[in-house]
Amino acid sequence: MADPRIISVDLDEHSLGWRSADIEQERRIAIFDLIETNYFAPQRLQADGYAGPYRIKLQSEEGRLGIHMHREDGTHIETLVLALGRFRRPIRNYFAICDSYFQAIRQASAQQIETIDMARRGLHNDAAEMLKERLAGKIEVDFDTARRLFTLLCVLHIRG
């Protein structure tokens, strides 16, 4: 029976750079929310009909994202590799707006925080749609899953 969802997420420790407390909190929330509710359905059929749940490991190396997919028992299924060139600008813009947001939380008015947060959500949503498009035909994900995966992609992209 199909169970197209992620039950475990690991980030490759060699891909991770230094992270501030704010970014580390975003990472924890994204993983928690991703595991709680997601839709993740690789489109390549397995010979034995396996269709989830999945354990994934995300790795960033040389401008590419590796999505290592495993069965529930940990057996490797396949690795999907995506070029990240198209994500450079959205990631850079997202980092910039997040920095503004974290600074605003500490010292700005409620209206200023709300304005920055709306811009942050807009960038995040656009990047999630781009990720869904890049995964099309390879892995089917819903919008919320794409948003959380983009957050984790950003965390992997940080360099100390």
Query: Is the bond into 53 cis (omega within 30 degrees of 0)?
Result: yes
Alpha carbons within 13 A on the beta-carbon side of 124: 22
Q: Supply the pLDDT for residue 160.
A: 40
Q: What is the pLDDT of residue 62?
A: 82
pLDDT of residue 146: 95
Q: What integer pLDDT is reported at residue 69 of this predicted model?
A: 96
10-residue averages of pLDDT along the chain (160 residues): 90 66 76 92 90 92 89 94 90 84 83 85 93 95 94 74
Query: According to the model, what pLDDT value does residue 28 have?
Result: 83
pTM across the whole model = 0.84
